[in-house]
Amino acid sequence: MGRSGPQITAKRQLWYCLAFTMVLLALLFRPAHCQQCRIQRCNADYVASTSPPNGVQEEVALGMNYCIALRAYALCTRRQARSCRGDLVYHSAVFRIKELFSQHNCSSDGPTSSAKVPSTSRPGVSELCDYENQVLLSGSAGQQKKYAHCGLFGDPHLRTFRDEFQTCKVEGAWPLIDNRFLSVQVTNVAVVLGSSATATSKITVIFKTYQGCTEQKVYQATTEDLPLAFQDGTRSGGESSSLTIMERGGSSGVGRQVKIQARYIGTSIIIRRVGSYLTFAIRMPEDTLDFSEDSGGLQLCLHGCPRNELIKEHTLSRQSQQPRLQPTNTELGPLRPPHQVYTVERATAKCRETLQVEDVYFQSCVFDLLTTGDPEFSMAAYSALEDLKALPPSKLKQNSPRTPRVFNGGATQTLAATSNGSLLPLLLLTLLLL
């Protein structure tokens, strides 16, 4: 006889129950067997994105692009949250990411990029060697970088990175700038026989090695030669020509000029030959400068001239209104007698031909003519003012470019630029007419 119906039905129900249990167990254990924790991949991609193979040093590689790479790292770990729930490496990475966001002041909101470095890494390195591009990539468009200006011209007159204006003696070799990016040294020689007046005859600029962006480059200009190349004969250097030299034609008789562009540090330099001497102007981001008093030793652009080199007084004789010249060391080069004898009125008229506003640049022009008698010096102040317009500091947005602070032997004051001759009495007081 066959099996009864109830027995067959019970066996089928038992089979169905076992089959359902097996399917349910398979579904429950599937993530553990099929979805693996890939936190090591996130770690590797993050390390690759912050360590380009071309060896860009930490301050470049972990500069403006660092926050982008960190956000990409955080996104990768969030995607692994389910599969890495019990992984100690994963939890350690999550904790470290929070610390890095705080340490580098990175926002969790913003653009992310693939943490994997492409096989052709040159475009990435080119971006890292462009300071302006780094500012854009930082995502802080509303926080514009601030720039500082330094200029040296004429007898010589110095405008510092602190926006102070000085007149100095500084005969011989003096450092203008000396930091981790570049060094600038000038040599000033006596101008006329029997005078303390000096002017710049040589400028040496050393761009220090910046791994991944440029090798060391040296540029030197003299009164005899204003070259359009570095000393090794090249006109550019570094990744994607992050350091270049170009010639700019003189205008209004201000002579030949050379511009050096260091894109990797956002710096521009203009060197001119005005008459028989040189002028210098530079514009650098403030965050590349250290304004502390004990930074880098003697740097004229940063800290100004030493107090014993500041020119505080200049006396004129009543009869000729010609500066009473001081004896000077004549070992640094051949000296010439004064070209002409300028009175204050003649010097003022000569400077007004190129400088209409009687500001500190106008005063410098008059002073140079009085101390040297060299009409070529009347163009040095004009050149410096043109360079200030071409390489303006950020402070010019609030202050007129023609009213820097005048620093004289510890006293600081602001001279307002006027066009009605009101600065002439101040000039006469400065020269202390007898």
What average pLDDT does the segment 324-332 reach? 35
Residue-wise pLDDT for 152-211, tens only, equals 999 899 999 999 999 998 889 999 999 999 999 999 998 877 677 889 999 999 999 987
Strand 405-408 with 277-285, pairing: unpaired
> Which tokens in the block code for residue 324?
């009473």
Nearest partner of 245 among 234, 232, 235, judged by Cα: 235
> Which tokens in the block code for residue 199?
């002017």
Strand 257-262 with 182-190, pairing: unpaired
Q: Which residues pair with 175 in a beta bridge?
A: 185
CA distances from 29 to 19, 33, 76, 82, 120 (A): 16, 7, 24, 14, 42
For residue 317, the model assigns a pLDDT of: 31
- Whether the ω angle into residue 156 lies within 30 degrees of 0, i.e. cis, is yes
Mean of the per-residue pLDDT values of the chain? 74
What average pLDDT does the segment 249-274 reach? 85
Strand 405-408 with 164-167, pairing: parallel
Residue 59's pLDDT band (boundaries 50, 70, 90)? Answer: very low
Residue 49 has pLDDT above 70, yes or no: yes
Residue 14's pLDDT band (boundaries 50, 70, 90)? Answer: low
User: Do 218 and 363 form a contact (C-beta atoms < 8 A)?
Assistant: no
User: Side-chain half-sphere of 360: how many Cα atoms within 13 Å?
Assistant: 25
SS3 120: coil
Residue 423 has pLDDT above 70, yes or no: no
User: Do 271 and 226 form a contact (C-beta atoms < 8 A)?
Assistant: yes
> Which tokens in the block code for residue 411?
């006293």
Residue 418 has pLDDT above 50, yes or no: no
For residue 356, the model assigns a pLDDT of: 85
Residue 61's pLDDT band (boundaries 50, 70, 90)? Answer: very low
Residue-wise pLDDT for 116-137, tens only, equals 444 344 445 566 788 887 766 5
Strand residues in 263-350 grouped as ranges (E): 267-274, 277-285
Q: Which residues pair with 408 in a beta bridge?
A: 411
Q: For residue 72, which phi and psi values (nearest 5 degrees)?
A: -65, -40
What average pLDDT does the segment 60-80 reach? 77
Determine how many CB atoms are found less than 10 A away from the CB of residue 195: 21
Burial of 112 (0-12, 13-18, 19+ CB in 10 A): middle
Amino acid present at 342: Y
For residue 85, the model assigns a pLDDT of: 83
The kind and range of the H/E element at 61 are helix 58-61
Determine how many CB atoms are found less than 10 A away from the CB of residue 364: 27
Of residues 359 and 332, which shows the higher confidence score? 359
User: Do 165 and 155 form a contact (C-beta atoms < 8 A)?
Assistant: no
Torsion of CA 102, 103, 106, 112, to 10 degrees: -110
CA distances from 328 to 169, 193, 335 (A): 10, 8, 10
Residue 399 has pLDDT above 90, yes or no: no
Residue 420's pLDDT band (boundaries 50, 70, 90)? Answer: very low
Residues 6+ away with beta carbon under 8 Å from 70: 46, 97, 100, 101, 104, 106
Nearest partner of 408 among 313, 295, 276, 288, judged by Cα: 313
Residue 413's pLDDT band (boundaries 50, 70, 90)? Answer: very low
DSSP state of 86: T
Burial of 69 (0-12, 13-18, 19+ CB in 10 A): buried
- Rounded Cα distance between 113 and 116, Å, is 9
Strand residues in 130-171 grouped as ranges (E): 147-153, 157-159, 164-167
